[in-house]
Amino acid sequence: MPVLNGSYRMICSLIFVTVVLMIMGATFHMGLAGDILQLAPWSQNENPHAPATPTPATPPTQPYVPAEGTNGGDDKHLDRVSPTNGAGLPKVIGLVFYGRKEVVSILDCYLKRNMKDNGGILDEVIFAINTGNQDDLAYLEELLVTHSGYSKHVAEGEYDPRFWFSNWEAVSDPDAVYVKIDDDVVFIEDDTIGHVVNRLVSNPKYFAVSANVVNNPALSWVHSRLGVYEPYWPEMHPPKSKPAASWRASELPAFEGPITGPEGFDPDGNTEAPYEGHRWLPVRNDSFDINDSPSRTLTYDAYGPSWLNWAASAQTHYSFLQHVEENKTSKYKFDIWDYGYERLSINFFVLRGKDVLDVFPFPEKDDELYLTTIRPKELRRHVVVDGTGIATHFAFRTQRDAHGGKGLAWTDALDRYRAYAQEKWRFSAVWLHRLGCPTSVILPIFFSLRYLVAMKLWTLAGFICPVASGFLYSNNSNQTLLPLTFTPLPVGSITPRGWLQSELMAMANGLAGHEHDFYVFVSNSRWLQASGGTDYSNLNEALPYWFNGIVPLAYSLNDARLKEQVHSVASTVLSLQSSDGWIGPEIPAERNFWGRTPLFLGLTQLAEANATWERPIVDALGRFMVLTNSMLHNSSFGFNRCASTIDCRWGQVRVADMILTIQWLLDKQKSGPSLTSVLWDNMQMFNDQTQYKWTDWYRPGTYPEVVADPTPSNPQFPYMHGVNVGQGLKSSAVIRRFTKDNSLLDAGLVAVNWTFTYHGAASGTILADEIIRDMNPYMGSELCTAVETAYSMSYLYEATGHYDYADRAELAIFNALPVMLTADMWAHQYMSQPNQPWAWNNSDGIFTTSNSGVATSFGLEPQYPCCTVNHPQGYPKFLTHSWATTSTGLAHMLLGPSTVTTSLAGSEVTIVCNTNYPFDNTLQYTITADAPFDLSLRVPGWSSPSTSSIIVNGTRIEFTPDSVTRMHKLQMQGGTTTITYTLNADIRIVNRQNNAVAVYVGSLLYALDVGSANVSTIAHAYGDPHGSGITDPPYPQLRDYYLYNTSAWNIAIDVSTLLYHPMNSSATPGTLTSGVFDYYTTPTWISVKGCQIPWGLYKGKVPDAVPAATAGSCVPGTVKEYTLIPYGAAKIHMSELPTVDLSGLVAEDEKEKAFRVQGGIDD
């Protein structure tokens, strides 16, 4: 017989299946219609005319005793389905929140068994689609044709995996009773639906009735008190031969290890499963104490260990299947349990259609919360559990995907439920005989054809699928974060040297280091008060911003005064944590996530720097993350859904920074395994629920090269705000770590490339004042943007290893940051421009939003306070991310003078790097190590290896940096090693808009020296920038400065005449200690020939776009030599300059010299 092709076989199979189903349906309808079970008499509490006194919400202490003449729900009479067979009942509709074929293929057995035409009471079943997975949807289409009572419902609008309330749209009949069933219900006792429906119909005072669900958080505790848990432990090693497929506990071998459990296995669920597909084996020893087993962790609540502990859920299932085999499911039963108004998982939940339609769409998107607590309380009608009707719920996501999927998903429990369903329902000999065929003939035919399609799908698992209880199964089959290319060292491992130490000390002795003493948004922050306090916005971000920077500053300098500030703030904030886990000053209705983000970054740094703080911080963050999980499941409260007075957008568009804290807990294994799945769920939900996904923004046709509407009213404003952009650049790398989507590598490169191509400043920051617009050099850049961009670039290099990110991190820190700070760091700018020859109080009308007039002046809080508190993270985070570990050693990622001390594989390593970099490009390393290791040194993208050198202990080493990371690896031996590393750094010309140029040497941008003078006043508050200033300033250094030029700014340069003037060649690396960004003491400079040209003002206030220049456009008498100095020292400057060819002209000073030589001038 020729082999049939796949399509023909499928058609034949479907035809055969249809015929068989028609015969089976008719036969079952005739054969089972008379099988009726009678309920025991209703108790007094169930009498609709009895007083409405609720049953106390306490668990029963005695097992249910079935009425005489019934089987108590045990499996002796599989053909007895319904207690009433539908007589006198309203229409009964099954409502399955559909998502996963792997479990629905089991549930299908029980649904068909309970259809009215098979002797049950279900009139129909609606599958409310709750997935976008195409395989799952295709399977549903195949399933729908297997029974005429099956139908599907697609919620209006686009499928949203965050919420499930929309599936209640499927409820359309107010007179019907709806049996809502999770798609991973894998066992339903034959009389369960009849019991639960009758309980509801007979008791109008009940709002809803739940089945007695096995593996339901609080009910698991109830079951444990009823003595149903049996002693089981996991089989730690695979058997030598594969065991036969069976669901029966009696066929399992006895557990042979210690009766207290396998060595190293934690019954609290804190260890992962031993291997995939492992069994749990019964302990056949009478001396076993059940209190030694995982069930000891069960608690009477909705989200405790009963929900988290995968080991307890495994014991739950194996115990239950043992009782099924022994016909002892009555041990689980009781009469009713009144939940009152407490939250209950709605895995198997019966309610009236009218009670849904009266209030749909629900005012609360969390359907479980609304239907078990809020609405019942409004109506004063309780939710009860019918203890006589058993159903089994397979898994909550926290159980299934514990330890990166190595939890309940790695047991064979689901296969056992499938085997039971196949044996007891699909291939029941009783049913097959009713077809009039011998079992030996029908069984193989039925197996091969009826379920040909379904069987091939059963082996596919692990799909994303929301479950009706309100929790997501993670779509990560392996809950392991992708490793970082370079792993940063704990804060405090790296200390600054040379000029970098001086800059950090200036910051500590300046404004940043004194804000805790006087600055009201820090010293009197709402975060530090049980009530009261102040902040500049209801997002409460001031103290968190400051704390994020002051922690690494304090510990990098080992500054006792600053550390005392850090400890005081941390102690106060943690002591004020709410009992439900919330951290922050907000009242419950105004909670939102953004303000916590920078605070948590500070706390995690503190935990790394000081072991004393690790435990309290980790514990506090753990409690917060559990609450976060609940809030995100509660219709994204505090994230996507906030009070009307709270702007949720900031937390959403910056969510990658919140995810960093979650990943820190996972990376450092600080969360405890029981919370691991909660953390993964939070990451996924944060990513899913944000309205602002940066990968959507950086798409052709979406991303704007020029912004036509640079205003806050633009719907795309969150994507266009400069600080958001700076923070958002890291999002692709952050999200890739848990989604494992490698397309995000390219997405990150595209985002950075487009940002700096169309909206980047030559100094390494982003042109956005506060909104991106175009590339004109009168556009401003916020100080916050500079520090956030630098941090994102350093993170991107750590995460992905692409050298361009490290180059950009250095560019921002060495240029964009220092140019906005006075040398003593008591004053700063809010906004800086590429071409800014004055920083006066006349900038109003220039920028997109920052138009108080003082955005470019230097002071305490010009324009707005955010940069006052956020700028301190700049230098400290550059330092703490300058060194990192690799798989084999250490890497110097961001170059600069520093000392690093750490341990590698138990061996101590100290490296001292003395250098004046970036003002000089020689770095000298002294390495002391107890054992060999690899040292990797980064070669910046602007430096050529062929003209650079590495000398190790006097021997020149061949230079072969990696093409992606630009790291050159050196093998260090134990003992002391010296390295001299010299980079070549020629003058570089980079083209800018309108044929302007920017001039660089190495990582330093150089700008035209326009001279500098200033007018100083008492510091002003941001809300009164033109008033008389603050009264009684606590420090005399608190001043505002208005700078203006003392020489011409409208200069075009001849780039062919650029000449670099380096530091003294005899200067020892590391001797440059202070004043590097002081206008008066900058160590290097460039000379260039140029001339003044006509150059207009934009809106009459600042230099306009760069004009074209020719030698003919030079202002007579202005051709001469000009000076460029490091941009960071040029607080007022011109950094984007027009070019002019002066080769045919002689500079004015040279003409004068010629006249003198020729006697043309009479002295």
Q: Is the pLDDT of residue 833 over 50?
A: yes
| pLDDT at residue 363, rounded to an integer | 87
Q: Are residues 399 and 522 in the same domain?
A: no
Model confidence at 401, pLDDT cuts 50, 70, 90, reads confident
**What is the DSSP annotation of 413-436?**
HHHHHHHHHIIIIIT-HHHHHHTT
- What is the count of structural domains for the chain? 4
- Side-chain half-sphere of 744: how many Cα atoms within 13 Å? 20
Per-residue model confidence (pLDDT) at position 860: 97
Q: Residue 163: what pLDDT?
A: 54
Judged against a pLDDT cut of 80, whether residue 478 lies above it is answered with: no
**At residue 828, does pLDDT exceed 90?**
yes
- Do 527 and 644 lie in one domain? The reply is yes
Residue 474 domain-assigned (yes or no): no
Residue 22 predicted with pLDDT over 80:
no
Shared domain check, 219 and 344: yes
pLDDT-derived band at 1148 (thresholds 50, 70, 90) equals low
3-state helix, strand, coil in the chain (%, to 5): 35, 20, 45
CATH of the domain at 893: 2.60.40.1180
> Domain boundary at 442, 458, 474, which?
458
Q: Distance between CA atoms of 141 and 155, rounded to whole angstroms?
A: 16
Per-residue model confidence (pLDDT) at position 673: 67
Distance CA 295, CA 291 (A): 7
- What is the rounded CA–CA span in Å between residue 713 and residue 703? 17
Same domain for 591 and 535, yes or no, is yes
Residues shown for the chain: 1163
Q: Which residues pair with 972 in a beta bridge?
A: 933
Q: What percent of the chain has pLDDT over 70?
A: 85
List, for residues 559-618, the tens digit of each pLDDT value.
999 999 999 999 999 999 999 999 999 999 999 999 999 999 999 999 999 999 999 999
Question: Band of the pLDDT at 23, cuts 50, 70, 90?
Answer: very low
User: How much of the chain exceeds pLDDT 90, in percent?
Assistant: 71
pLDDT at 1092: 97
pLDDT in tens, 629-662: 999 999 999 999 999 999 999 999 999 999 999 9
Q: What is the pLDDT of residue 843?
A: 78
pLDDT at position 463 is 28
d(CA 155, CA 28): 33
What's the average model confidence in pLDDT over 549-559?
98
150-164, 288-302, 562-576 — most confident range: 562-576
Short-list 119, 186, 107, CA closest to 150:
107
What are 89-105's pLDDT values in tens digits? 899 999 999 999 999 99
pLDDT of residue 431: 35
Report pLDDT for 672.
Answer: 62
Query: Is the confidence at residue 132, as pLDDT, over 50?
Result: yes
Residues 370-403 as b/e (b if ≥16 CB within 10 A, e otherwise) read: bbbbbbbeeeebbbbbbbbbbbbbbbbbbbbbbb
Higher pLDDT, 306 or 380: 380
Q: Where residue 73 falls among pLDDT bands split at 50, 70, 90?
A: very low
What pLDDT, on the 0 to 100 scale, is given for residue 879? 98
Its sign, for the CA torsion 837, 841, 842, 847, is: positive
CATH code, 109? 3.90.550.10
Same domain as 159, residue 43: yes
Task: Identify the three-state secondary structure at position 710.
Answer: coil
Within this chain, do residues 96 and 33 fall inside the same structural domain, yes or no?
A: yes
983-1041 tens-digit pLDDT: 999 999 999 999 999 999 999 999 999 999 999 999 999 999 999 999 999 999 999 99
103-107, 748-752, 973-977, 1063-1067: least confident range = 1063-1067
- Whether 1160 has a pLDDT exceeding 60, the answer reads no
Q: Is residue 759 part of a domain?
A: no
What pLDDT, in 10s, does the model give residues 701-714?
999 999 999 999 99
What tokens does 684 get?
Answer: 């996924």
Cα–Cα distance, 393 to 278 (Å, whole number): 20
1030 with 967, same domain?
Answer: no
Give mean pLDDT, residues 443-447: 35
Is 13 or 595 the better-scoring residue by pLDDT?
595
Question: Quick check: 968 and 937 in contact, CB under 8 A?
Answer: yes
Angle at the Cα of 1010 (from 1005 to 1011), degrees rounded to 5? 115
Q: Cis omega before residue 770 (within 30°)? A: yes
Is residue 347 a part of any domain in this protein? yes
This prediction has a pTM of 0.64
Are 999 and 972 within one domain? no
Determine, yes or no, domain membership for 243.
no
pLDDT, averaged across the chain:
86
> Is a pLDDT exceeding 50 seen at residue 130?
yes
Amino acid at 603: L
Q: Which of 656, 690, 724 is the last residue of a domain?
A: 690
Domain boundary among 982, 1010, 1031: 982
**Judgement on whether residues 1032 and 998 belong to the same structural domain of the protein:** yes
Shared domain for 1001 and 973, answered yes or no, is: no
With cut-offs at 50, 70 and 90, classify the pLDDT of residue 19: very low
Q: Is residue 162's pLDDT more than 60? A: no
Q: How far is CA 870 from the centre of its chain?
A: 22
Q: What is the mean pLDDT of residues 912-935?
A: 97
pLDDT at 33 over 90: no
**Average pLDDT in the 241-263 region?**
87
Is 317 among the domain residues?
Answer: no
User: Binning pLDDT at 50, 70 and 90, where does residue 1054 land?
Assistant: very high
**863 inside domain:** no
Task: Tell me what pLDDT residue 288 has.
Answer: 86
pLDDT of amino acid 1056: 97
Is pLDDT above 80 for 691? yes
What is the predicted pLDDT for the residue at 87? Answer: 52
Q: Are residues 453 and 489 in the same domain?
A: no
Distance of alpha carbon 87 from alpha carbon 82, whole angstroms: 10
Helices 783-800 and 731-739 sit at what angle, rounded to 10 degrees? 30
The pLDDT score that the predictor gives to residue 1139 is 97
The pLDDT score that the predictor gives to residue 72 is 38
Residues 98 and 143 in one domain: yes
Whole-number pLDDT of residue 841? 82
Does residue 1045 fall inside a structural domain? Answer: yes
Region 447-470 average pLDDT? 31
Q: Is 729 contained in some domain?
A: no
Domain residues for the domain of 593 are 485-690
Residue 249 pLDDT grade (very low, low, confident, very high; cuts 50, 70, 90): very high
